């Protein structure tokens, strides 16, 4: 978010926004759960590169302040499995500011915060410290939250997040990172503050120890401790950044990155954010996520005179969870229980000439165990997600248009002993992917609609998304984020409605971003008859980040 010179300003202003726009069009496996402009204006200090120019031209670009993952630098580093970087990272420990030592001192002095990015603690500089921080003020207004079922009208929420981290590098092979969070929440007619993800007294948000090196021709490492995890489809899991407290996990991951293949092994328990005392966050042993993610960079080729690159990903992600997120819809309410979900999936994504493509398919198996005993039910659910986009790169505003389509299977609330058909997404899909209002989520849902983006000015970015939604199964309920709506037999037809949403992001100064999100829910006649209400949503975010 720092500009080093007026000459470099346009490139730096668009770093963060281009990251998310590219991932919107290609459906990146790692995605920011923030406004697309969050983290823009990253410093334009350029790292040195040992790669010849032809290798760094299109698909192997050198990212500022990031490890060089080779071909997996694609998507501003998201292809490597650690989220986007491009200056500032979704996970701040994914940044690597050692490249700043190669920058002329007069350029470094142009931004005061550069002195905090590389602090050598030894004469050799092999032990060094990097400090980061964020102050975020967010205001959200909803006149009919959750389609009018939240018990509040004209709800105004004010959220303030203070988040600071320190990254200690002990030579080439060991580093430790700690990040601390303070969250305040207020407003009028507000709701949803009882879960601990908005009001957070001083606590450890992330704390990791990483051991890394080269072995078997790959860059390998093990990261243990509390951390956010982004190596999963955004339709299934995200950093949950709409709230003050991001979703973090306690556990470990091991990664290996070769020239054209990488793999990630992980086993996590969700961090328990409900305790509200200072340094009281523990581990939620009732929510586990584990698995393996692999990605293969296929050989490069050319289409319509443009270099093209396709990635083929194969993954297994397991969920173990209970509580409200595991409940099944019945004809009169919900059935409590616990569930195991085995997600086996594949994804093909990248660019073919001027077109960005992404196609993901997931089969979800496992079982559901009713609370208090009863027969165990198998799970047979699935999801298919696709995006096709095109960008007019020769135009000044770089307008982009994409068509996004999604299908998440549903089941039947009349069934009490057959296979469970409702696709489960307990760990917060990316809201900006489909519905920033959180009124709908990736369960029993079919959606299709255009995504249009443009940057009329270097520091002004626009996005428009108009998805139209149906229930995949008319015998299943309507689902919101962490919520099963109570409408059953009163529903008629599968059409739910539409949620047009737009965003305006303005990077008005180095380190500062001001974002406006406007959305509305227009319900179908069948939803109106069942009791759903149309609603308007407005959110503005002022963020300072270094």
Predicted local distance difference test score (pLDDT) of residue 103: 84
What distance in Å separates the CA atoms of residue 82 and residue 77, rounded to the nearest whole number? 7
Predicted local distance difference test score (pLDDT) of residue 9: 32
Count, in order, helices (H) and strands (E) of the chain.
6, 27
Q: Is residue 266 part of a domain?
A: yes
Predicted local distance difference test score (pLDDT) of residue 313: 98
Predicted local distance difference test score (pLDDT) of residue 63: 85
Predicted local distance difference test score (pLDDT) of residue 37: 41
Q: Render pLDDT for 258-289 as a digit per residue (tens, 0 to 9).
A: 999 999 999 999 999 988 889 999 999 999 99
Between these two residues, 13 and 247, which has the higher pLDDT value? 247
432: nearest Cα among 18, 81, 27: 27
CATH of the domain at 179: 2.40.160.100
Rounded average pLDDT over 345-374 = 96
What distance in Å separates the CA atoms of residue 224 and residue 251, rounded to the nearest whole number? 6
Domain count, the chain: 1
CB 287 within 8 A of CB 263: no
Q: Is residue 226 part of a domain?
A: yes
Instruction: Work out the percent of the chain whose per-residue pLDDT is above 90.
Output: 80
- Label residue 62 by pLDDT band (50, 70, 90): confident
Predicted local distance difference test score (pLDDT) of residue 38: 39
Residues near 327 by Cβ (< 8 Å), separated by ≥ 6?
334, 335, 336, 337, 484
Predicted local distance difference test score (pLDDT) of residue 147: 97
Q: Is residue 211 part of a domain?
A: yes
Predicted local distance difference test score (pLDDT) of residue 363: 98
Residue by residue, DSSP assigns 368-423 as EEETTS---EEB-EEEEEEEEEEE-TTSTT--EEEEEEEEE----TT-SSS-B---
What distance in Å separates the CA atoms of residue 333 and residue 316, rounded to the nearest whole number? 32
What distance in Å separates the CA atoms of residue 134 and residue 508, rounded to the nearest whole number? 17
Q: Is residue 208 part of a domain?
A: yes
pLDDT at 35 over 80: no
Q: Render pLDDT for 398-440 as a digit per residue (tens, 0 to 9).
A: 999 999 999 999 999 999 999 999 999 999 999 999 999 999 9
Predicted local distance difference test score (pLDDT) of residue 272: 95
CB 319 within 8 A of CB 289: yes
What distance in Å separates the CA atoms of residue 66 and residue 64, rounded to the nearest whole number? 6
Rounded average pLDDT over 466-494 = 94
The C-alpha torsion from 193 through 195 and 197 to 203, rounded to 10°, is 110
Q: Is residue 126 part of a domain?
A: yes
- Label residue 533 by pLDDT band (50, 70, 90): very high
pLDDT at 510 over 90: yes
Residue by residue, DSSP assigns 310-333 as EEEEEEEEEEEEESGGG-EE-SSS
Predicted local distance difference test score (pLDDT) of residue 55: 32
- Mean of pLDDT over the chain: 89
What distance in Å separates the CA atoms of residue 35 and residue 430, rounded to the nearest whole number? 11
Listed as own residue / partner, the contacts of 141-146 with beta carbons closer than 8 Å and 24 or more positions apart are 141/536, 141/537, 141/538, 141/539, 142/437, 142/535, 142/536, 142/537, 143/535, 143/536, 144/521, 144/533, 144/534, 144/535, 144/536, 145/191, 145/439, 145/535, 146/438, 146/439, 146/480, 146/483, 146/485
Lowest mean pLDDT: which of 20-29, 69-78, 466-475, 494-503? 20-29
Cα 438 to chain centroid distance, Å, stands at 14
Q: Is residue 145 part of a domain?
A: yes
What distance in Å separates the CA atoms of residue 463 and residue 280, rounded to the nearest whole number? 39
Rounded average pLDDT over 233-260 = 96
- Label residue 60 by pLDDT band (50, 70, 90): low
Q: Render pLDDT for 150-165 as a digit per residue (tens, 0 to 9).
A: 999 999 999 999 999 9
CB 529 within 8 A of CB 492: yes
Predicted local distance difference test score (pLDDT) of residue 5: 31
CB 377 within 8 A of CB 420: yes
Provide the 3-class DSSP secondary structure of residue 95. Answer: coil
Q: Is residue 43 part of a domain?
A: no
Predicted local distance difference test score (pLDDT) of residue 107: 83
Lowest mean pLDDT: which of 19-28, 438-447, 464-473, 502-511? 19-28
pLDDT at 529 over 60: yes
137: nearest Cα among 457, 546, 539, 524: 539
pLDDT at 243 over 80: yes
Residue by residue, DSSP assigns 39-91 as T-S---PPPP--S-GGGGSSSSPPPTTS---GGGGTTTTGGGTS---TTS-SS
CB 100 within 8 A of CB 42: no
Q: Is residue 245 part of a domain?
A: yes
Rounded average pLDDT over 178-203 = 95
- Which domain, by its residues, includes 127? 70-545
Dihedral of CA 78/84/86/91: which sign? negative
Dihedral of CA 487/491/495/498: which sign? negative
- Label residue 72 by pLDDT band (50, 70, 90): very high
Cβ neighbours of 375 (radius 10 Å): 9
């Amino acid at each position: 978010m720092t500009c080093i010179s007026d000459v470099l300003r346009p490139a730096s202003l668009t770093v963060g926004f281009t990251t998310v726009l590219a991932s919107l069009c290609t459906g990146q496996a790692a995605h920011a759960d923030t406004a697309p402009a969050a983290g823009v204006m990253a410093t334009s200090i350029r790292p040195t590169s040992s790669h010849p120019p032809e290798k760094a031209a299109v698909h192997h670009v050198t990212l500022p302040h990031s490890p060089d993952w080779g071909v997996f630098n694609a998507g501003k580093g998201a292809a490597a499995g650690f989220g986007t970087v491009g200056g500032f990272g979704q996970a701040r420990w994914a940044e690597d500011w050692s490249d700043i030592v190669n920058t002329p001192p007069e350029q470094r002095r142009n931004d005061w915060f550069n002195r905090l990015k590389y602090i050598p603690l030894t004469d050799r500089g092999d032990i060094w410290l990097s400090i980061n921080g964020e102050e975020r003020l967010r205001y959200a207004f909803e006149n009919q939250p959750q389609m009018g079922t939240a018990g509040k009208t004209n709800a105004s929420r004010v959220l303030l997040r203070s988040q600071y981290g320190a990254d200690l590098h002990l030579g080439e092979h060991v580093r430790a990172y700690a990040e601390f969070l303070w969250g305040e929440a207020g407003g009028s007619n507000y709701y949803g503050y009882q879960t601990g993800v908005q009001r957070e007294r001083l606590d450890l948000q992330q704390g990791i120890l990483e051991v890394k090196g080269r072995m078997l021709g790959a860059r390998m490492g093990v990261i243990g401790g509390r951390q956010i995890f982004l190596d999963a489809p955004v339709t299934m899991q995200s950093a949950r950044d709409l709230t003050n407290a991001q979703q973090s996990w306690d556990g470990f991951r091991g990664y290996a990155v070769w020239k054209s293949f990488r793999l990630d092994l992980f086993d996590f328990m969700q961090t328990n954010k409900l305790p509200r005392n200072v340094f009281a966050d523990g581990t939620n042993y009732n929510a586990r996520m584990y698995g393996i993610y692999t990605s293969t960079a296929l050989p490069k080729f050319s289409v319509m005179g443009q270099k093209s690159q396709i990635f083929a990903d194969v993954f297994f992600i397991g969920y173990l969870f209970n509580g409200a997120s595991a409940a099944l819809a019945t004809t009169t309410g919900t059935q409590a229980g616990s569930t195991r979900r085995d997600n086996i999936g594949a994804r093909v994504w990248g660019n073919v000439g001027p077109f960005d493509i992404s196609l993901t398919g997931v089969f979800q198996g496992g079982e559901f165990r009713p609370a208090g005993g009863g027969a165990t039910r198998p799970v047979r659910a699935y999801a298919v997600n696709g995006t096709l986009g095109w960008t007019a790169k020769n135009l000044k505003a770089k307008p982009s248009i994409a068509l996004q389509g999604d299908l998440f299977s549903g089941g039947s609330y009349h069934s009490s002993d057959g296979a469970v058909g409702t696709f489960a997404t307990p760990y917060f899909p990316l809201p900006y992917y489909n519905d920033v209002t959180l009124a709908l989520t990736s369960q029993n849902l079919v959606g299709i609609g255009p995504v249009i983006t443009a940057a009329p000015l270097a520091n002004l970015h626009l996005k428009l998304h108009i998805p139209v939604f149906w229930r995949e199964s008319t015998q299943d309920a309507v689902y919101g984020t962490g919520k099963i709506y109570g409408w059953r037999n009163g529903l008629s037809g599968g059409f739910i409605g539409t949620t047009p949403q737009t965003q305006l992001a303005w990077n008005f100064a180095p380190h500062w971003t001001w974002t406006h999100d406007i959305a509305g829910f227009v319900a179908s006649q069948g939803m109106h008859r069942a009791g759903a209400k149309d609603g308007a949503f407005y959110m503005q975010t002022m963020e300072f980040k270094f």
